[in-house]
Amino acid sequence: MQGLIFSVKRYSVHDGPGIRITFFMKGCPLSCWWCHNPEGLNPSVERVTLTRKVGEKEFRETEEVGKLYSVENILEIIEKDSIFLRQSKGGVTFSGGEPMMQLGFLAEALRACKDKGYHTAVDTSGYSPGENYMKIIPVTDLFLFDIKHLNDTKHIEYTGVSNMRILDNLRMILNSGKDVMVRIPVIPGKNDDPVHLSELREFLAGLKCDNLRRINLLPFHRIGASKYKRFDLPYRMDDTRQPSHERMKELKEFFLATGIKVKIGG
Ligand code: SF4
């Protein structure tokens, strides 16, 4: 079985504990306004045209985004960094896009990593049928689980899908006893109003348990903005600014009242 991957990040320190290798898998059923990985949305290989400047000359090049990897390919890549991953108590993370869209490959890759003794993490939007998560829970050590909005109407507006299945899956994974880090993208004007933040804090406090390891507050940034043109997609966040460091510190204090650890960033 093969998986379609658009990027492999070595020495990653934001996608779970220790030093990690993160595989970014193609395809996502959501369409978040603020997504900074638009190259991960489409579940197929895409051809994009890039303009490169060398001195005064401009060159146009076509590039393929997305490449097929077998589980053996994945293991070969991981084994090269094995010493760093093991010594740092790191491991392997599957992100995207939404890795659950390639469930068969994901489950096989996770199993192979576990068999070699690596810590495994899955970074997910939570939007996949519950039975799919049941299939990977035995081979996943940590879920990086996004919560974007508790209000379902707003969730549909900003991501294209309902949050009901997502919230059910979060409860189910927590009940399984597996470690979870909840990731909240902080998007000014979209999910950071006082009413929503209070609801979110109450919701998270209600979930508090030993395996809910941390809340990660991910400040909005515009790093992915330039990619939208390349993929011929509309960018809807032109008017939004990155939250200040002071604002993020304020939010960290606010969520610490849940009794759960809070970190700014991944
Ligand atoms: S779930 Fe993640 S990858 Fe998918 S659209 Fe939203 S931000 Fe992008």
Distance (Å, whole) CA 209 – CA 203 = 13
Distance (Å, whole) CA 75 – CA 71 = 6
Q: Which of 170, 20, 5, 14 is nearest to 87 (CA)?
A: 20
Atom of ligand 1 nearest to the CA of 40: 3
Sign of the dihedral defined by the CA atoms of residues 233, 230, 265, 4, in that order: positive
Kindly report the number of other CB atoms within 10 A of residue 30's CB atom.
19
Q: Which of 72, 105, 73 is nearest to 2 (CA)?
A: 105
What's the CA-to-centroid distance between 30 and ligand 1, angstroms? 6
What's the CA-to-centroid distance between 132 and ligand 1, angstroms? 18
Provide the pLDDT for residue 220: 97
Provide the pLDDT for residue 58: 85
Minimal-distance CA residue to ligand 1 atom 7: 35
Q: Which two tokens stand for residue 30?
A: 């959501």
Atom of ligand 1 nearest to the CA of 31: 5
**Whole-prediction pTM value?**
0.96
Atom of ligand 1 nearest to the CA of 185: 7
Most ligand 1 atoms within 8 A of CB, residue of 15, 23, 30, 237 to mutate: 30
Most ligand 1 atoms within 8 A of CB, residue of 26, 35, 157, 220 to mutate: 35
Q: Which two tokens stand for residue 253?
A: 């204090």
- Report mean pLDDT in 10-residue bins for the chain, 266 residues: 97 96 98 96 93 83 94 98 97 98 98 98 98 98 98 98 98 98 98 98 97 98 89 92 97 98 96
Domain total for the chain? 1
Atom of ligand 1 nearest to the CA of 96: 3
What CA–CA distances, in Å, run from 47 to 96, 156, 212?
A: 18, 29, 40
Minimal-distance CA residue to ligand 1 atom 3: 97
Spell out the alpha helix ranges (H) of the chain.
71-80, 82-87, 103-115, 130-136, 152-159, 164-176, 194-207, 225-230, 245-256
Composition of the chain by helix, strand, coil, percent to 5 = 35, 30, 35
Structural domain boundaries enclosing 151: 2-264
Rg for the chain, CA atoms, rounded: 19
60: phi then psi, degrees, rounded to nearest 5: -105, 130
What's the CA-to-centroid distance between 127 and ligand 1, angstroms? 10
What residues flank ligand 1, with Cβ below 6 Å?
A: 28, 30-32, 35, 37, 40-41, 96-98, 125
Sign of the dihedral defined by the CA atoms of residues 36, 135, 184, 153, in that order: positive
The CATH number assigned to the domain holding 24 equals 3.20.20.70
Provide the pLDDT for residue 201: 98
Residue at 98: amino acid letter? E
What's the CA-to-centroid distance between 31 and ligand 1, angstroms? 6
Provide the pLDDT for residue 2: 98
Provide the pLDDT for residue 251: 98
What's the CA-to-centroid distance between 56 and ligand 1, angstroms? 37
Minimal-distance CA residue to ligand 1 atom 6: 32
Q: What is the 3-state secondary structure (H, E, C) of 125-192?
A: CCCCCHHHHHHHHHHCCEEEEECCCCCHHHHHHHHCCCCHHHHHHHHHHHHHCCEEEEEEEECCCCCC
Which pLDDT tens digit goes with each residue over 128-141? Answer: 999 999 999 999 99
Strand 142-146 relative to strand 119-124, pairing: parallel
Distance (Å, whole) CA 125 – CA 238 = 23
3 state DSSP class of 69: strand
